[in-house]
Structure 1
Amino acid sequence: MAARTPWFDLNECTGHRDAAGDAPMTLDTYHDLASVTKVVATTTMLMRLVSERLVDLDAPLSAYLSRSYEAITVRDLLLHRGGLWEWWPLYIQPQLPPPRYRPGRARHYSDLGFVLLGRIVAAVTGLRLDRALAELVTRPLGLTSTTYAGPAGAEVATSALDDRVEMTMLDTGRPYPVPYRSTDFAGWRTEPIAGQVADGNAHHAFGGVAGHAGLFSTVPDLLRYATALSRYEEYDHLWRPEVAREFFAPGPDPEQALGFRRYELDLAGESVTVLGHPGHVGCAVGFVPGRDVALALASNRLLVEGQPASTDLLWDDLLQATARRSRTE
């Protein structure tokens, strides 16, 4: 984990990047970002496209996609208020199911919403999502170690022991009661997963390139990304500052901005808002707009037998460590 602030830098690196415990973790190890993809890729690309007036946050999805979603807007999906199912095994049934909830009524965190947002980016740019990411985010921000579908280097952390998490979700119907079982799919991975995205939909249905998951990156690149977002006004050649501020503002749910999650933190005796996102495999990124504060967490928490520590818990440890250090510097 790492933090960059005006007062101090924080770096801590321990553990191993493989299941056998033979290869040590380093700050330059590549990690499966999982849902951190939702902000580093999809949200940031949309922030650029909105700035260029190519996407309207309040337009219905049907303005960009052939399928009719008249009651759901781009803003709804970024706020996780689109009413879509939280998750669905698209490698078994490729057709997205009808909404599970009434759109706009309440926040229901949804991978499917970001699958659709990724499709909107591709439709508007006319590019495959990985090419759009390079054009809109990674190349302009100098993120040389951030890529879809696989790591850019050989030193990659194992993401998961196998596909057991999704097999268990299907066989128990928890946390989402989808009408399928693990026996309905024949392509399960049974060996440790390294260099492939762990997320089943991203890997099995989309070849590693999707709006909700698929990115790999390193701690230095995550810090570079977070630093750029914290200094967003210096990047007005990429996005309009007023659009960035709209993306950063709280929505109907105070903990959720447009794409970004919001965390309150006492930093150097002042209450600030950290914007960011965690990922299932064990990574997270965050920044404080206008304050030159960047945070990054990268772990492979799933490489344990039994119940692993949650990413939210690991992320809170970094937030609190940063808060404590800020009070002593």
Structure 2
Amino acid sequence: MTSSFEALLPSTERALLHRVAVAQSEGRAPSFVAGVVRDGAMVWSGARSCVDGHAPDTGTQYRIGSITKVFTAVLVMRLRDEGLLGLEDLLEKHLPGTGVGEVTIAQLLGHTAGLAAETPSPWWERTPGSLRPELADVLGERPTVHPVGRLHHYSNPGYTLLGSLVEAVRGVSWEEALRTEILEPLGLDRTSCRPVAPHAGGFAVHPWADVMMPEPAEDLGLMAPAGQLWSTVGDLCRFAVFLTEGDDRVLSADTVAEMRVPAAPASVTDGKAGYGLGLQLVHSERGLLFGHTGSLPGFVAGLWVSVEDGVAAVALANATSGPLPATVAAELIGIVAEAEPRLPKPWRPVPAAEVDEELLALTGPWYWGTYAYGLRLGAGRALTLEPLKGAGRRASFRALPDGSGWIGLDGYYQGETLRVVRRPDGSVSHLDLGSFVFTREPYEQGDAVPGGVAEGAWRGL
């Protein structure tokens, strides 16, 4: 996303408001508020309320539940980027004595540590955190329910451990780290651990009657890193831009992109869903959406981003059940993307200073065996390798800083290195991609494995 504001069409705004109005009405929510971001700026917001003439705005706080986990994950990734821990480090190395120290930090971030989904009774979301003053109270007598690293199993206690990890490594409270390292740099001054007026009250709406009652807003104590935060549509829209573009004051663009790479397998029952490092991933008709859902008694929330469309959406409601902000947020993205498709950037040649005759000479057709591929050169010495016809593996590559080759960015070749192999006289012999050899001709005569064709070997019947 880039920071350029362009207003939506009135027909698009009407469709967005209609979707929010239907969500509030059919979901029987006391109030429902949403916002849409396009190319780095909030371009629309809308709300509906059961109180005539008194709808919330983009500065009204709602509790966001498990969207809090994304903030906790960002704090952990900051520690990794600073070299204070590694994602493959065992928890015991930095937070000893938990009894589950054999799990890695990456497994906790991606919910593959085998931990239970919830704390022991009573229900932690509706009781004060003072009932669980120690990690042992959060984990209980049977903290693991699955083999470590074998299964994606969503775990709220896992993020309590990550919050305690942040405190142990940083030497300050999770709340203090959150404020100084994320909220203040990004200008999220309406996001807080406790509600600050104006804020919505949380309600339970009776499932069989049009009546409701207030829900308690408990301080979650040690469970805060899993679901404590209150925020607004305005702040969460700014946070969505950060999760797309990064911000060097908090995390680089490369690190936020790393967070949305699948770290946990998709569910067997729902192959369209996955999980990165603190981010939920959904493969929709529009491509990949990333973000997170959230709920606590009295509140439900959803935040999704579509990088392909350059659109993000946030939806919040103050009801325990009924409305589905996560679904609505995804649908708001679809409304904008379908009504006003993203305009492609104008084509421009690369800057003259980047023109490299040796790289230009590498472009064009290459062959892996008899499979035909095309190598294309882009800005910043980036390369793309794609099949010219039939089946094949497409991949994009970024030049390595030391000039030794290119690193794969996606697909089968993600993380693999593409290198140019030269003959003793300096001429190009072949491309080596993770030991796969690409030659200028199919099985080029006298060239590298699997090259080499006997004299007259190509023949007809």
C-alpha offsets along residues 66-105 of structure 1, whole Å, 9 cap, x if unaligned?
2243431111111111111101246556251221111111
Max radius of gyration: which structure? 2
2:256 — aligned with what?
Answer: 244
1:314 to 315, 322, 328: 328
The whole-number CA distance in structure 2 between the counterparts of 1:53 and 1:26 is 41
Residues 69, 24 of structure 1: CA spacing in aligned structure 2 closer, same or farther, 3 A cutoff?
A: same
Task: Please report how far the alpha carbon of residue 6 of structure 1 lies from its aligned counterpart in structure 2 after TM superposition.
Answer: 3.3
C-alpha offsets along residues 31-60 of structure 1, whole Å, 9 cap, x if unaligned?
101111111x20111122211112211111
The whole-number CA distance in structure 2 between the counterparts of 1:292 and 1:265 is 15
Residues 319, 289 of structure 1: CA spacing in aligned structure 2 closer, same or farther, 3 A cutoff?
A: closer
C-alpha offsets along residues 215-257 of structure 1, whole Å, 9 cap, x if unaligned?
111111111111122112xx23432443333212112425211
1:220 to 231, 234, 237: 234
Residues 68, 290 of structure 1: CA spacing in aligned structure 2 closer, same or farther, 3 A cutoff?
A: farther
Residues 57, 328 of structure 1: CA spacing in aligned structure 2 closer, same or farther, 3 A cutoff?
A: closer
1:274 to 266, 289, 294: 289
1:133 and 2:178 are equivalent in the alignment: yes
The answer to whether the Cα contact below 8 Å between 2:280 and 2:291 also exists between their aligned partners in 1 is yes
- Alignment map for 1:137-176 (pairs within 5 Å): 137-148=182-193, 150-152=194-196, 154-161=197-204
The answer to whether the Cα contact below 8 Å between 1:37 and 1:211 also exists between their aligned partners in 2 is yes
The whole-number CA distance in structure 1 between the counterparts of 2:283 and 2:248 is 26
The whole-number CA distance in structure 2 between the counterparts of 1:21 and 1:253 is 46
Q: Identity of paired residues, percent?
A: 25
Q: Match of 1:14, SS?
A: strand
Task: Please report how far the alpha carbon of residue 107 of structure 1 lies from its aligned counterpart in structure 2 after TM superposition.
Answer: 0.7
1:181 — aligned with what?
Answer: none
C-alpha offsets along residues 8-42 of structure 1, whole Å, 9 cap, x if unaligned?
933221114xxx88953222211101111111x20
1:36 — aligned with what?
Answer: 67
Structure 2 stretches lacking a partner, 5+ long: 1-33, 207-211, 267-273, 344-461
The AA in structure 1 aligned to 2:95 is L
Residues 61, 328 of structure 1: CA spacing in aligned structure 2 closer, same or farther, 3 A cutoff?
A: closer
Q: Match of 2:289, SS?
A: strand
TM-score normalised over the length of structure 1:
0.75
The whole-number CA distance in structure 1 between the counterparts of 2:249 and 2:54 is 41
The whole-number CA distance in structure 1 between the counterparts of 2:231 and 2:48 is 18
Residues 5, 258 of structure 1: CA spacing in aligned structure 2 closer, same or farther, 3 A cutoff?
A: same
The whole-number CA distance in structure 1 between the counterparts of 2:281 and 2:109 is 13
Structure 1 stretches lacking a partner, 5+ long: 165-189, 198-202
Residues 321, 290 of structure 1: CA spacing in aligned structure 2 closer, same or farther, 3 A cutoff?
A: closer
The answer to whether the Cα contact below 8 Å between 1:297 and 1:318 also exists between their aligned partners in 2 is no
Task: Please report how far the alpha carbon of residue 287 of structure 1 lies from its aligned counterpart in structure 2 after TM superposition.
Answer: 2.7
Q: Match of 2:161, SS?
A: helix
The whole-number CA distance in structure 2 between the counterparts of 1:250 and 1:84 is 19
Q: Match of 1:282, SS?
A: strand
Greater strand percent: which structure? 2
2:349 — aligned with what?
Answer: none
Q: How many residues align?
A: 280
1:6 and 2:25 are equivalent in the alignment: no
Residues 161, 147 of structure 1: CA spacing in aligned structure 2 closer, same or farther, 3 A cutoff?
A: same
The structure showing larger relative contact order (alpha-carbon pairs under 8 Å, at least 6 residues apart) is 1
C-alpha offsets along residues 122-178 of structure 1, whole Å, 9 cap, x if unaligned?
111111111110111001111111111x123x221112349x9xxxxxxxxxxxxxx
Greater helix percent: which structure? 1
The whole-number CA distance in structure 2 between the counterparts of 1:240 and 1:11 is 28
The answer to whether the Cα contact below 8 Å between 1:227 and 1:293 also exists between their aligned partners in 2 is no
The whole-number CA distance in structure 1 between the counterparts of 2:252 and 2:262 is 18
The answer to whether the Cα contact below 8 Å between 2:279 and 2:290 also exists between their aligned partners in 1 is yes
Q: Match of 1:274, SS?
A: strand
1:118 and 2:168 are equivalent in the alignment: no
Residues 104, 308 of structure 1: CA spacing in aligned structure 2 closer, same or farther, 3 A cutoff?
A: same
1:299 and 2:344 are equivalent in the alignment: no
The whole-number CA distance in structure 2 between the counterparts of 1:95 and 1:263 is 29
1:192 to 188, 210, 214: 214
1:287 and 2:318 are equivalent in the alignment: no
The whole-number CA distance in structure 2 between the counterparts of 1:318 and 1:301 is 20
Task: Please report how far the alpha carbon of residue 108 of structure 1 lies from its aligned counterpart in structure 2 after TM superposition.
Answer: 0.8
2:109 to 73, 78, 83: 78
